Amino acid sequence: MEISLTTRIFMIFTAIVFTIALTFASIELPGRLSAYLDREVQYPDIDSHADKLSIYRTELYIQHYHIRLIGYISLFLVIILIAAGFITGKSGLASLGVFVFFLPLFGQFASVMFFLAGLGMLNLIWMPILDFAPWVLNLGDIIYVPYRIIAYIPSRFGIDIRLWFSVGFMGIGLLIFTMGTTAWFYNKFRENGTADFWIYRYSRHPQYLGWIIWSYGLLIYFVNMPYPKRSWGIPYSLPLLISSMFIIGVAMLEELSMKRKWGEEYELYRRKTPFMFPLPSFISRIISAPMRLILRKENPIRKRKTAAVTLFYTALIMVISVLYINIKSPSGIIYNKENRIKKLINTIRESDNRRTRNSAATSIIKFGKASVLPLIELSKENDSQTRYYAIRSLGKIGSEDTVETLIKALSDNNTDVCCAAIQALGDIHSEKAIQPLIGLMDNENDDISHEAVYSLAKIGSKQVVGRIADDMKSDKWYIRCDAAKTMGYIKSEKSIQYLEKALLDKDKRVRRLAALSLLRIESYKSLKDALKDEDWEVRFYAREASKRMKN
């Protein structure tokens, strides 16, 4: 059937419009939906894992609204959906499940600190993994290798190609998708059987190929953008790996129906055209070797075997990711602990990049007590920033063995180092630190005196109640907030009385922290009147107190 020029132009125009609409729906709509949800749904105004208090508030919210249960059910339903698609041979069901796996990536559009705010609620599906084995979410990290290989050489010359890489991949993906859609329309108009022309000569599934390349560019774009939820930033390599692998599985599933429908015509086309990526034949043979070994054939011929092949390759890539993580990161399962610690110590000491030093200081914490002695030595360096990172890391490790070093650091002439030592002693809750910290309560540096009071409160020293009470009378709301939060570490009659007064504060932020503090020190009766507060979060803490009192 001959197709007129007008019809061809119309088909190309339709394919372009379809691609643009899909791109708009994928990028613009999530941002708008996130803003709407953030405006309409009530969330705590916190950075979910910034400190122990934020963790406590986050966990309260999760438990109160049964979010964990919803997440578990959601993950179970998605797995069932994909399984049903492969069992019944209905690729639409499997594709829908795969798309839901990919959706959490769009949680990046939520520009707020609470990890379930806006589209961040899409992270619900990963709650079971976050609860039991968050490291599993890094088992797709091998997919970053192509990007890092391409970006390595330009980076040696000071050329940053991150944005160009992501935009280029997204553009190539959209172009391939548009060409595939145009060819598909053209084939429908011709009323032909198998599409074996244009881009279909180089890939049997160009739309899926375009989608995978586009989503990879989107992933790299998000990797390189500032991440607002600094503590609950979920790695998205595994969601993308799973969704891409199961898209490939869906493509294999569709080929079974194509083979049944077109028979030898489709089989002939399949023999001469790459499955998805137009790779050299010897590379394709290497990649497909495990499948040939399992199936004794070039392609699966049953739905069950298609699912088995998809799962096998997904697991294989995850195993390769484990090896890659162990080579790249000290958080891997197999590593030379002593060499890793030494390397991180040298990075903290010698790097000129603040972000690199911060990353090394965070990574060394994972080694626990094994890194205490090297960090103590590092805390004696002349460079104040080096001392700061060493002291901060020692505090995060939280070992009693670090207390003497941290007490010595209280006399450091650098304010940041001194404050880091004060915070660390408060987190360790060491009673040895009480007298040295009391000596800093009246320090002329406001930052030091404030941190000393806060840490003494965390240790449980009642000697600071009067000082905190003075702060609760301040005309500055943020000082009253700090005071209400700090008072929550001290369980005494006086602290309860001050917090009850703070429940009447004109600023809702102060009332929120006062209610939270009363809940933490289990003064549930004090929150009875807060059930009528005009602020939802204050009422939320009061309801939680009522529930606990009944129990």
Q: What is the pLDDT of residue 201?
A: 85
Reply yes or no on whether the pLDDT at 508 is more than 90: yes
Looking at per-residue pLDDT, the higher value among 6 and 457 belongs to: 457
Cα distance between residue 90 and residue 79, in whole Å: 15
Q: What is the pLDDT of residue 330?
A: 42
- pTM of the predicted model, to two decimals? 0.75
Q: Give the list of residues 6+ apart from residue 15 with CB closer than 8 angstroms, or none.
A: 178, 179, 181, 182, 185
Q: What is the pLDDT of residue 517?
A: 93
Going by pLDDT thresholds of 50, 70 and 90, the confidence category of residue 334 is very low
For the domain made up of 480-551, give the CATH fold.
Leucine-rich Repeat Variant (1.25.10)
Query: Are 308 and 295 within 8 A, CB to CB?
Result: no
Q: What is the pLDDT of residues 352-390, one digit of tens each?
A: 888 788 888 888 888 888 888 989 999 888 888 999 999
Taking residues 281-307, report their average pLDDT: 74
Give the count of beta carbons closer than 10 Å to the beta carbon of residue 420: 25
Taking residues 193-221, report their average pLDDT: 83
- Exposed/middle/buried for 353, CB within 10 Å: 0-12, 13-18, 19+? exposed
Reply yes or no on whether the pLDDT at 182 is more than 90: no
Q: What is the pLDDT of residues 295-333, one digit of tens each?
A: 666 666 677 778 888 888 888 888 888 888 766 554 444
217-226, 362-371, 394-403 — which is least confidently predicted?
217-226
Reply yes or no on whether the pLDDT at 395 is more than 90: no
Cα distance between residue 348 and residue 474, in whole Å: 40
Taking residues 527-537, report their average pLDDT: 92
Average confidence score pLDDT of the chain: 82
Q: What is the pLDDT of residue 301?
A: 66
Q: What is the pLDDT of residue 331?
A: 41
Cα distance between residue 437 and residue 423, in whole Å: 10
For tokens 């010698």, the residue is 350
Looking at per-residue pLDDT, the higher value among 49 and 144 belongs to: 144
Kindly report the CATH class assigned to 343-459: mainly alpha
Q: Tell me the domain boundaries of the chain.
A: 5-328, 343-459, 480-551
61-75, 318-332, 494-508 — which is least confidently predicted?
318-332
Asked whether the domain spanning 480-551 has the same topology as the one spanning 343-459, the reply is yes
Strand residues in 482-529 grouped as ranges (E): none
